[in-house]
Amino acid sequence: MSSANCLFCTFVSRDIEPDVVGETEHSLAFRDVNAQAPTHVLVVPKRHVANAGELAEASAEELQDLVLLARSVAEDEGLVGDYRLVFNTGAGAGQSVFHAHLHLLGGRAMKWPPG
Ligand code: DGP
């Protein structure tokens, strides 16, 4: 399930310990090292897949688990329904780590469209 040379797989295995804010059987949530908002958390599947579409194809249950963990962390962070969830897919869309991850951003006003 894990992939060699994948940063987020080393977080899931805890060979490197991120700043964890939530966990389920299928997903891990930790703070983004380069925060773009007062709350900026990444929620990753424990299964190694490259992006959200691959996760959906592999397991609808694990995709649901990911989104529900993001919602739970948002509630824990006091975001009370005002937060943004983002999956970047592909380098052209800003993806830089090719292990699927859901950005949870909140705690400030959000603009649209994103840059
Ligand atoms: P993306 O650009 O959508 O692939 O998002 C990757 C995110 O991963 C980016 O916001 C920064 C974050 N990131 C990169 N390296 C590390 C790290 O070593 N630790 C943590 N916590 N986050 C990282």
Mutate to test the pocket of ligand 1, among 32, 43, 49, 99 (most ligand atoms within 8 A of CB): 32
Question: Which residues neighbour 105 within 8 Å (Cβ) at sequence distance 6 or greater?
Answer: 36, 37, 39, 40, 83, 84, 85, 86
- What is the mean predicted confidence (pLDDT) over 55-68? 98
Q: In the CATH scheme, what is the homologous superfamily, with its name and number, of domain 3-106?
A: HIT-like (3.30.428.10)
- For residue 58, the CA-to-ligand 1 centroid distance in Å is 23
Q: For 67-111, where are the E strands, in sequence order?
A: 83-86, 102-106
Q: What does the pLDDT look like over 87-104, one tens digit per residue?
A: 999 999 999 999 999 999
0.85 cut: is pTM over it? yes
Residue 112: the pLDDT is: 96
Q: Is the CB of 34 under 6 A from ligand 1?
A: yes
Is residue 1's pLDDT more than 70? Answer: no
The residues carrying an active-site annotation are 101
pLDDT tens digits, one per residue of 8-53 = 999 999 999 999 999 999 999 999 999 999 999 999 999 999 999 9
So where are the chain's domains?
3-106
